[in-house]
Structure formats: C-alpha cells, structure tokens
C-alpha cells in the first residue's frame, strides 16, 4: 500500500472520502517539499486531521511546540497554528526561518493585551513579577518576567518564590491557577473566544444524558465548566488522559479538531462531540501550507530589542519545563 493510501486508511473515519480527493495531492506535494527544503512542520493539536495526521512532523500542545522548535535541526520551521506560536518558535530558535501559512491566524487572548498595558500594570503593582501566558505577542513577552502555558502555569508561578504575581492575559486560566496555588494572582480580563462559550449547565446536562462519561476541559474554560469536569489540563494532557485511561465515553471541552485527531488512535473510545471551532486555527489549510513553504512567504520577523527581551521570558519557561 502506498504512503498516501496508508494516511487515508488512518484518517478515513474523520475525513469524508469526497474531501480526500482534494487533500491527497497537497499532502503528497507538501511531504516531498519538506524533504527537499529540509523543513519541519510543527502543528498544534487543534489543526484539522489532514494536517495533524497528513503532514505534521510533530503535533502537540503549545509548550511542546516551543520545546521542539528549540531543538530542531531543520532549516525551515512551518508552524501550523496561530501567530503567537510561530513567534514563540522564532524566539526559541532565532537562526531558523519560521513560516506561518496564514499571517492572520491570531488569537483573542493575544490581542487582548499590549506591551503598553503591561507597562501600566507594572506601574500599578511595582515589584510584582509578571507571568504571561504564551498566548501573547512578543511585545508582551518582552515586558514579562517569564512565560507559561496551560501545561506548566502553576509550576511557573510557584517557581518565582514570591507571594504575589501579575498573571496575564487569560482571566479564566488565572482563576484556575489561583485555585491551585497559595500565591496571590492579579489577573487581566482576556478570554479565549472558543472556551468561554462553554457553560457549566451544558456540561452537567451532557453528564446526565451520558452516565459514566468522563469530561475533560481546557483550563481556558470558565470556572463552572472546570468544576463540572473530571479533569482539566493542556491539550496534550487531554490527549494523554484519553490514551492512558481509555474511558468508554469522553467529552473534550475544547476545540473541535481535538476529538477528531485523537479518535483515530483511540478507536474504542466513544467521543461525544459538542465543541467549538477556533476560527484562527482554522485559517490554516493544506493549500496555504504548500504555498508558504514553496514560496517561503509569511516569514516571522521580530525586532532585535523585543526579541532579546521576549526570548528571556520564553527561555525561563523552557528551563522550568512541564
């Protein structure tokens, strides 16, 4: 069986046949081009199955993507995810060419705060360290002491050895961290437009309708959703939870592609699928991946001054680890 048939066999459960005829030529062309150009494709867990299973060399959560970007030997990194992820990859490995298939793949959290806002917060709370979620621009990272992701937020906050931190920009993630540490958290009002839509009532209803179901949520969800869930963690922690526990029925309270992507490797698990789409993640398509790698367009550039300071924040996060 050819390589491309193998890929289709794998993803046929979640990608309709009619779409495959359109995807297959791109998957073949991208995989060939990757070899010719010594490029690596790093994809976030929210990418569609044809990207996640068809062309990604690594598919992971935002922390793992940053760590992989730091150690890759490839000449070009194509980051299939949103803009802050590509910027983080560039900060982690400044000598590499980092491309993003669509420059407009933003993030509601990243756009909720500017460097100027952080400077204002530092003036208001002098001496209080700033922990910024990796879902921020390089400019915000440059104003921060350290970054974190949802996979290590509590660990990063506690690593500072202080009794108070400014934690931005996700209000709900800040809430989640506050529940899991004694350090006082000063938060910002940013939210993720995907996760803020879930409600605790909706989750409770699904549990009533599906006795025995396991419900796992991303910590960007509102507190009543997390309280109504069995587990909360980063996208990769959610993947691992399903792999290890093999629940009969599961609901992933997060972006829609997650269930499709994991279903393939967990055929015995029944995925209940009320989910929300991230319009930014969905800007990335196979055609755009091909075009950006072929023409080497949409390169991430960060001014030296910001890059130098932002790099310190992400490097501190990388040293703390998961």
Residues forming the site for ligand 13P (CB under 6 A): 45, 61-63, 135, 149-151, 192, 218, 220, 234-235
Nearer to ligand 13P, 149 or 178 (CB): 149
Contact in structure between 47 and 78 (CB atoms under 8 Å): no
Smallest distance, ligand SF4 to C-beta of residue 149, A: 11
Q: How far is CA 311 from CA 2, 79, 129, 306, in A?
A: 42, 18, 16, 8
Kindly state the tokens that stand for 2.
Answer: 């050819």
Cα–Cα nearest to 130, from 122, 116, 184, 163: 122
Residue with Cβ nearer ligand SF4 (106 or 129): 106
Order across the sheet with 97-99: list the strands: 58-60, 39-44, 76-80, 97-99
Smallest gap from residue 100 Cβ to ligand SF4 (A): 13
**Cβ distance to ligand 13P smaller for residue 149 or 285:** 149
87: partner contacted, choices ligand SF4, ligand 13P, none (Cβ within 5-8 A by kind): none
From the list ligand 13P, ligand SF4, none, partner contacted by residue 40 (C-beta under 5 to 8 A by kind): none
Compute the half-sphere exposure of residue 317: CA atoms within 13 Å on the CB side of its CA.
31
Nearest to ligand 13P of 8, 255 (CB atom): 255
Choice from 174, 194, 225, 284 touching ligand SF4 (CB under 6 A)? 194
Among 121, 128, 193, 206, binds ligand SF4 (CB under 6 A): 193
Would strands 184-187 and 164-168 be described as parallel, antiparallel, or unpaired? parallel
Binding mask of the shown chain, residues 76 to 95, with x at each position contacting ligand SF4 by CB under 6 A: ------x-------------
Whether 49 and 11 have beta carbons less than 8 Å apart is answered as: yes
50 sits near ligand SF4 (criterion: CB under 6 A) = no
Residue 40 as a binder of ligand SF4 (CB under 6 A): the answer is no
The verdict on 192 binding ligand SF4 (CB under 6 A) reads yes
Going by C-alpha positions, the residue among 157, 155, 107 that lies closest to residue 132 is 157
Q: How far is the CB of 294 from ligand 13P (least distance, A)?
A: 27
Between CA 185 and CA 21 the distance in angstroms is: 51
Query: 88 touches which of ligand SF4, ligand 13P, none (CB within 5 to 8 A by kind)?
Result: none
Residues 95 to 134 in contact with ligand SF4, rule: CB under 6 A:
107-109
Nearer to ligand 13P, 136 or 263 (CB): 136
Question: Residue 280 touches which of ligand SF4, ligand 13P, none (CB < 5 to 8 A by kind)?
Answer: ligand SF4
Q: Which is nearer to ligand SF4, 114 or 210 (CB)?
A: 114
**Dihedrals φ, ψ of 99, to 5°?**
-115, 150
Phi-psi region of 300 (alpha: psi -120 to 50; beta: other; left: phi over 0): beta
Nearer to ligand SF4, 102 or 220 (CB): 220
61 binds, among ligand SF4, ligand 13P, none (CB under 5 to 8 A by kind): ligand 13P
Tell me the C-alpha distance between 153 and 45, whole Å: 19
Q: Give the residue among 296, 300, 289 at the shortest CA–CA distance from 44.
A: 289
Measure Cα distances from 320 to 158, 159, 160, 165, 184 in Å.
11, 8, 10, 17, 20
Binding mask 262-281 for ligand SF4 (x = CB under 6 A): ----------------x-xx
- Shortest CB 13 distance to ligand 13P, Å: 23
């Amino acid at each position: 069986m050819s390589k491309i048939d193998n890929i289709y066999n794998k993803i046929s459960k979640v990608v309709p046949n009619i779409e495959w005829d359109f995807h297959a030529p791109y998957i073949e062309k991208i995989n060939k081009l990757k070899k010719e150009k010594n490029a690596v494709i790093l994809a976030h867990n929210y990418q569609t199955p044809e990207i996640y299973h068809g062309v990604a060399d690594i598919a992971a959560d935002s922390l793992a993507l940053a760590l992989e970007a730091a150690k890759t030997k490839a000449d070009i990194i194509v980051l299939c995810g949103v803009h802050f992820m590509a910027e983080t990859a560039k900060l982690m490995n400044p000598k590499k060419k980092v491309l993003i298939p669509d420059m407009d793949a933003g993030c509601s959290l990243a756009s909720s705060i500017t460097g100027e806002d952080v400077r204002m917060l530092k003036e208001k709370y002098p001496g209080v360290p700033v922990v910024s979620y990796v879902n921020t621009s390089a400019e915000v990272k440059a104003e921060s002491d350290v970054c974190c992701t949802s996979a290590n937020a509590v660990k990063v906050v506690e690593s500072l050895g202080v009794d108070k931190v400014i934690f931005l920009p996700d209000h709900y993630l800040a809430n989640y961290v506050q529940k899991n540490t004694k350090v006082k958290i000063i938060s910002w009002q940013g939210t993720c437009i995907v996760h803020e839509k879930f409600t605790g009532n909706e989750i409770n209803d699904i549990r009533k309708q599906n006795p025995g179901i396991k419900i796992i949520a991303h910590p960007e969800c509102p507190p009543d959703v997390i309280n109504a869930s069995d587990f909360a963690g980063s996208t990769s922690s959610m993947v691992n939870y399903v792999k290890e526990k093999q629940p009969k029925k599961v609901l992933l309270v997060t972006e829609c592609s997650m269930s499709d992507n994991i279903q393939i490797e967990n055929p015995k698990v029944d995925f209940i699928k009320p989910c929300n789409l991230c319009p930014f993640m969905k800007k990335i398509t196979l055609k755009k991946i091909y075009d950006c790698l072929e023409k080497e367009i949409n390169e991430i550039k960060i001014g030296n001054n910001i890059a130098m300071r932002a790099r310190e924040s992400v490097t501190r996060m990388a040293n703390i680890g998961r």
